[in-house]
Amino acid sequence: MNILITGIHGLLGSCLVNVFKEKNVVYGLDFDATEKNGVRKVFTNNELKDIPDVDVVIHIDGMHWDSHDLSEALAYSERNAGFTRKIYNWFTQSTAKYFIYLSSIKAAGNSLDSHCVLTEVLSQKPFGVYGESKFLAERYILEKWTYGKKIYILRPAIIHGLATLGSKHLDLLFDRVKKGRPYLFGRFVCRRSFTTIDNLCFVLKRILELDIPGGVYNVVDDESLQLVEIYEMMAHALHKKARVYEVSKWIIRSIARVGTRFNLGLDDFQYQKLSTDFEVSNEKLKKALGIRRMPVSVVDGFNQSVINYANKK
């Protein structure tokens, strides 16, 4: 097959090139047209008309960091929603049959009621400017679904792997561990779902091999992790003593309020992440793929991510 990957120079784009280059012809699309090993040709975002016929479009380009800064809403909307509309409109007029859009679980929400696991059928409550931009892109694709085309909207959680932890919040946590600072949020359970990059690449490859039904799919690891477990993994990788303190939730909440007012590190936005569970079901996807478990467990995947990240640092 001929496959076009947007955001080809990014971490995931590079990973997908390695997945598909042996048995397929891979083209790239990015802001930078620099040549890339394993890619037939890289086009800029203004050269859509020059792209040859392809069978598959895998659209992963976009702004991926979460943010609560409303001043950035326009940039997120233009990049994640605006460019998605542009590439999708090109796709509908092309000979390509498959369009795979890498959205985000943030397009569905960020927190759930206690003991509730997010599925694809629950109503969407996008979180933050990032989630809103992904939500708008999803709506456009679904409303413009063209007859005879296969559309897949994939919603990963925080993507980790290779040399990335996947979020600024986890980067900051890593720096705290590296400096020997304790973890003060032992009273918070905060179970969250994650997506190992190896599992995501496996899913993308398997979708095309099996030609599964189109639609919306959550793409997450089988198990969730508590943030305190991630802190302990980081401490182990850095050969630091894991010091977990159970500071009163009331004290943490008060600090967050002050942080919001004076623009400090811990604010209401970060507090919400620390104080809420967010677990996601991948059962619909596994049933479609005919598998019982993802290839990599979240513990193995995250341990390796932390080790790679530590070595990079």
- Confirm whether 199 is domain-assigned: yes
User: Which long-range contacts link 18-23 to residues 24+ away (Cβ below 8 Å)?
Assistant: 19/201, 19/204, 19/205, 20/205
Tokens of 137: 């892109």
For residue 262, give its domain range: 55-312
CATH number at residue 219: 3.40.50.720
Q: CA-to-CA distance for 313 and 303, rounded, in angstroms?
A: 15
Residue 308 lies in a domain: yes
Q: Are 157 and 194 in contact (CB under 8 A)?
A: yes
Answer whether residue 21 is part of any domain. Answer: no
In a 10 Å sphere around its CB, with 0-12 CB exposed, 13-18 middle and 19+ buried, how is residue 121 labelled? exposed
Distance CA 132, CA 127 (A): 6
Q: Per the structure, how many domains does the chain have?
A: 1
9 occurs within a structural domain: no
Q: Which candidate, 220, 209, 191, 223, places its Cα nearest to that of 120? A: 220
CA distance 130 to 3: 27
pTM of this prediction exceeds 0.85: yes
Residue 193 near residue 160 (C-beta atoms within 8 A): no
Q: What is the pLDDT of residue 196?
A: 96
Q: Is residue 39 part of a domain?
A: no
Q: What is the pLDDT of residue 261?
A: 79
Question: Residue 129 has what pLDDT?
Answer: 77
Q: Inter-axis angle of helices 128-143 and 83-93, to 10 degrees?
A: 20
Helix (H, G, I), strand (E, B) or coil at 45: coil
Separation CA 122–CA 302 (nearest Å): 27
Positions in the chain whose pLDDT score sits under 50: none
- Residue 304 CB coordination number (10 Å): 18
Q: Which tokens go with 277? A: 């569970």
Place of tokens 């694809």: 120
Give the pLDDT of residue 15. Answer: 94
Question: Which residues neighbour 160 within 8 Å (Cβ) at sequence distance 6 or greater?
Answer: 166, 170, 194, 195, 196, 197, 301, 302, 305
Note the pLDDT of residue 69: 55
CA angle 198–203–207, rounded 5-degree value? 155
- Cα distance between residue 228 and residue 124, in whole Å: 28
Judge whether 230 and 302 are in contact, CB under 8 Å.
Answer: yes
Residue 169 lies in a domain: yes
- Give the residues across from 101 on adjacent strands: 59, 153
Q: Is there a domain that residue 242 lies in? A: yes
Amino acid 111: pLDDT: 54
Q: Sort strands 215-219 and 150-156 into parallel, antiparallel or unpaired.
A: parallel
Does residue 2 form part of some domain?
no
Q: Give dist(CA 34, CA 28) in Å, integer.
A: 10
In this prediction, residue 107 carries a pLDDT of 85
**In which residue are the tokens 């919306």 written?**
216
CA distances from 304 to 23, 168, 180, 202 (A): 28, 18, 21, 17
